[in-house]
Structure formats: C-alpha cells, structure tokens
Structure 1
Amino acid sequence: MPAKLSVNLNAIAMLRNRRDLPWPSVTGLGRIALAAGAHGLTVHPRPDQRHIHFADLPAIRALIDDEFPGCEFNVEGYPSESFLKLVEDNEPEQVTLVPDDPSQATSDHGWDFRQHADFLKQSVARLKRLGVRVSLFCDPGTDEPQLAVAKEVGADRIELYTGPYGACHNSPEKAASELERLGKTADIAVPLGLEINAGHDLTVANLPPLARRVPTLAEVSIGHGLTADALEYGMAETVRRFLRAAGNELS
C-alpha cells in the first residue's frame, strides 16, 4: 500500500506569525490539503510557539473531526509534561516523539533509544493509555539492538529522519548512499514489529526513490518542501504531486 501523506503545517504558521494577522490561515490551508487528498495534518508545537500556536491545535482537531473524519492528526514534540498535557487535551491519532532541545531550529537527530529507554517507556505508556499510536524519531543507520529497544519501550512506529538524505539534493552518489542507510534501518525495524514513517526535507524528486527502497513505508510527514512548492503550484496541486510521488493513484 502506498505511503500516506501528512502535511506539516509549521511552515505555514511561521509565515503567518511574521505579522499580527490571521493569514495565511493554518486551518484554511489544512482544509485545502485534506480536500486534495492528504491523509492527515502534522504540527510540531514548540514551547516558544514560534510557528504553531497551542491555540491552533483545537482548531485543527475540530477541522478533522467535523470535515475530514477519516483523516489523522499527528502531533510531534519532545515529551515534556507540558507537551504531554497538550496531547491529552487534543487527542491526536498519532504522536511522534523527538529528542529536540527547545532552542533547536528544527529536528535534526533521532533518539538514542538505549540511553533514554526508561524515559521513553514512561512517555509511551502514558500516550498509549489515550489510545494514541506512537512513533519515535530515528536516525538512519540505527542498528538492531537500538531498534529492539524502541520496540521494547512500546513504540508502534519509527519515523526515519530523512534530513541527511534530503541534504544530498545536488549529489546523486551521496543521496544513493543515504537512501541505502534508510533502507537498511527499515529492513531491520519491520521484522521487529515496527512500522515505518519518514520525514524531513522530502521533495517530489527524492520521495519516489525512498518509496521504492522502503516499500513498507506507512506515512510521510512533509512540511518545508511541500510549502515551498505550494507557493508555485498552489496547495491543492502540490498535495496531488506529493501523493503521486509517494505512489498513490489519484482518481
């Protein structure tokens, strides 16, 4: 089955926040993306609210519930107490836990599962009590012992960090090497019972090779590249382009 597409709204929110004005509308563009066929919406609320505001989450939750009940809400973040409370208040279908420092500009590495096993186990258990699917951010090249710990702490999925792969946009040789690292990690994870998500700097150009190398890919979460393309093609057509890139057939 082709990978589902979750549209990350953070870049849209960051543009909105340049002015004390309600546009571009996070929910408005989320509505366009879902109407065009996206399977869900992703946000990464950070403590300083520099892009997604905490107040955006109930509005996105209501948009999905009222107009697109078959779609999913994915919330990413570091599992601090305030983040977990935000999740409990907004009931996403999926939570993606990342090991970010609050000062980071963007997510740039996965978890060391062994080092943070106890912390992750507690956080995952709390989320599972809500009936939430849990995905853990994972570096390419992560080995089997580490991935086994990810499964042991209760994760349903890992999200492959595709930043290094996306950074090779001008070097086919390096891109092929990074793609193979991602593929080998997925090859190890799937037999352990972990499903595979992926995200960070994915584009219409580099998504098809990823989907071919990781045919078990369940979902991709895409924000920066998709938002950049939307400036040129419009949100609806951009979503359709990314859906096709992920292998989805459009009617």
Structure 2
Amino acid sequence: MAAQESVYNLLPRLEEKPVKPPRYISTFRPSVKLEIGQSKAQWKTMGPAKVAVPSPKDFLKKHSKGPTLPARKKEQESKKLPELSVPRRTDRPVMGLQSKKNFIKANAVAAIKGLPKKPQHIYVDRRQGDKYLLEPSGLVPKYTKKKDYGTTPKYVIQRSEEKRKAKEEYENKVLEHLKKKAMKQLSDEERANLLQGLKKKWEEVYHKFQCLSVEIDTVPKKLNKEKLESQMKQLEHDIAVIEKHKVIYIANDPN
C-alpha cells in the first residue's frame, strides 16, 4: 500500500475489466421447448385473435331471463270459455225488452225525500290546529246512555252491608263484655230522668250563684264562689255527655 502522496499515483493506470464466465445453458433445452410447443397452441395464453361482435338486435329485454310458460295445448284451446257478465261485441241484444222506469225522475224523488247526511262532530285542539272526530275522543259522556247508569254499584252495596254487619258484631261484643263486668244500661226513661235531675240541680246552683253579693271581699265568699263555679262546670259537662250519648252504661256497686 502506497501513501496518499506518492509518485506512483501520478502514473496513468490501465483499467482491468473483469471477465464474465460463460452463461449456463441446459442440455435439455431443445427437448423441453419441443414438448411445450406440442402441448399448447398460439392463442391459449393471449386469447383468440378475433372475437365475434354481438348483434345490436340481441339486447337484454324485459322478463327475458324469467321463467317461461309452457306452450298451450290444443285441448285447452278447444275448451269453452266461461260465460261473461258483460256481453261481447259479437253478441246481439234482443230488441224490445226496455224498462219503462224513468230513472231521472226516480233519482230526483229519492234525492228530495231522502234524509240529509248528518255532519260529523269534530273538535280542534287549538285555533289553527288539526281537526279530530269528537265521538272517539272520549269527550262525549257516553256513560250516561248505559243501562245501569244512576244505579248503585254492587260493590258499594256489598261494602255497606259488610260495614253494617261489622258494626252489629262490635256492638254485640261490647254488650257481652259489659255484661261480664256487671254493667247496666240505662233505659230511655232513666236517662231522661237523670238528665232532668242534672238540669234541675244546675238551676239550683245557678240560683245560689246569682244570690251572691256583688262585692266579694272576704276569703269565705271567694271560696263559696269558686265552689259554685266548679259545681256548675261539672254539671254542664255531665249534661253534655248524657245528651251526646244515647246509650249509657253504669257500673253496679259491688257493695
């Protein structure tokens, strides 16, 4: 290896081209080409040289690819066609059979005597809203036209009967309980006598209260006044209780 600055670098050098080795060729190449040429034609890889152009008359038509009906048999053609309600063009109507009815006059009479159509009841939800039928909307009280309208429902009668029975059972239980405790029920006459006696007693106490002096300056007078007031309040309470309750029970004295 010479240095970078050397005299030998100033001398021109001949370029040495590398020699390529000969290309490899198989000895079986001719036989292989012969076999391939025998097994395929010229147009098998690139397609046919000329293609038949389709005719412009053979375009795709409607229902051309759909199922086709079988050909009609002669037996079906010989069958008679069903009778039609509408007369054919070849048929000749029988002359002379004419109706004497005046259809114009009959229609006019039917229009005059016929009842006019009733307009449908409608409602509008707002000023510029849509129209709706009134009857199926639920705004018409149809329940008033029912057969059982105005009658007491069965469940209300049943519940009232159950309440009445429950009240009777409760009263019977109370009576049995009071009988066990030796309670006595006052009769109407006894209740009236008791009420009359309390009112008479209240009048007596009230009379005594009215007889008190105007000036109450001593302790006995004050005590007497308070006693009369308490008696009057107690009597008023007893009278109110007896007037409020019609059934009154009293306990028997065990002595």
In the superposition, the TM-score normalised over structure 1's length comes to: 0.13
Q: Relative CO higher for 1 or 2, CA cutoff 8 Å, sep ≥ 6?
A: 1
Comparing both structures, which one devotes a greater share of its residues to strand?
1
Which structure's CA Rg is the greater one? 2
